[in-house]
Structure 1
Amino acid sequence: MKLLFDQNLSRKLVTCLADIFPNPSHVQFHQLAEKTDTEVWDFAKLNDFCIVTQDADFTERSRLYSSPPKVVWLRCGNAPTNQVETLIRSGQEAIQELLSNSSIHCLELH
């Protein structure tokens, strides 16, 4: 499973985190930036992506529908990209556990 960064996150994260998460992508690369959450959800599900977002809506969707796709909810507010990168790097093990464990559907990182 690959990471798909939501529109509220910088596209720079794709290259910044490619060393620890293979083949990450961003919604803008798939013409999804202006699409609905449902369309992003369906795309992620069909293409084996885990959604990385600051949007609580995806977390709620995960609680309702389970996975796939899985969701990483970043609870860092409107932080600079380097702080978001640091948060994701510090949560690398937890994210890997999310991706590999079929009983976990959503992860919150603070």
Structure 2
Amino acid sequence: MGFSPDSFYIKTLGLTNTDDAEIWEYATTNDFVIVSKDSDFHQRSLLYGHPPKFIYLRVGNCSTSKIVQVLQDEIDIISQFGDREAESILVLS
């Protein structure tokens, strides 16, 4: 189960065990937003800006269903973030 019909897990895109730089490029090319708990993507976003935009999940060790719940709870903030051209990082906890 994904967050929305337009969301994809890395593994469903065939990008499991793929270098972060390749995932970053794939997201840029396909106009995706990266959602991750990985601080490497956070650092990459600070260094390069966007595209792609990055949603940094600071939720610690938790289940996928908890992550989906956090995203659903913040859907209005996420939507506003997507519409703002100047913003490249959104931190959710």
Same fold by TM-score, threshold 0.5 exceeded? Answer: yes
- TM-score norm. by structure 1 comes to 0.79
Q: TM-score, normalised by structure 2?
A: 0.93
Could you list the runs of 5+ residues in structure 2 that have no partner in the other structure?
A: none
Which aligned runs of 4 or more in structure 1 are off by greater than 2 angstroms? none
Equivalent position SS for 1:79: coil
What letter is aligned with 1:106?
Answer: I
Across the aligned residues of Structure 1 and Structure 2, the Cα RMSD in angstroms comes to 1.1
Q: CA deviation at 1:82?
A: 2.0
Q: Distance in 2 between matches of 1:70 and 1:63?
A: 11
Residue number among 34, 42, 51 corresponding to 1:51 in the alignment: 34
Residue 80 (structure 2) aligned to one of 76, 90, 97:
97
Q: How many residues align?
A: 93
Between stretches 48-57 and 73-82, larger displacement belongs to: 73-82
Q: CA deviation at 1:31?
A: 1.4
1:69 lines up with 2:55 in the alignment: no
Q: Distance in 1 between matches of 2:23 and 2:38?
A: 12
- Return the structure number with greater strand share: 1
- The code of the aligned residue for 1:75 comes to R
